[in-house]
Amino acid sequence: VYLRYGMIVVDKPPGPTSHEVVAWIKRMLGVSRAGHGGTLDPKVTGVLPVALERMTRIIGTVMHSSKEYV
């Protein structure tokens, strides 16, 4: 039940795409829907917010909020 309203913050390593990370999370947790709040290039490391199930509805808000790349 809690996964339906969950958000996971991933420290994405270099290598996988953001889409691959989301696919792994879906498989590991057995959820049908997940979405990330911003695309990171495969070579880049960084914070990747991943919304699960019903929480995917707010991912647009995350996508349009201000971000800073260092």
User: Which residues are known catalytic residues?
Assistant: 41
Give the 3-state DSSP-derived string for the chain, with helices as H, strands as E and coil as C. Answer: CHHHHCEEEEEECCCCCHHHHHHHHHHHHCCCCEEECCCCCCCCCEEEEEEEHHHHHHHHHHHCCCCCCC
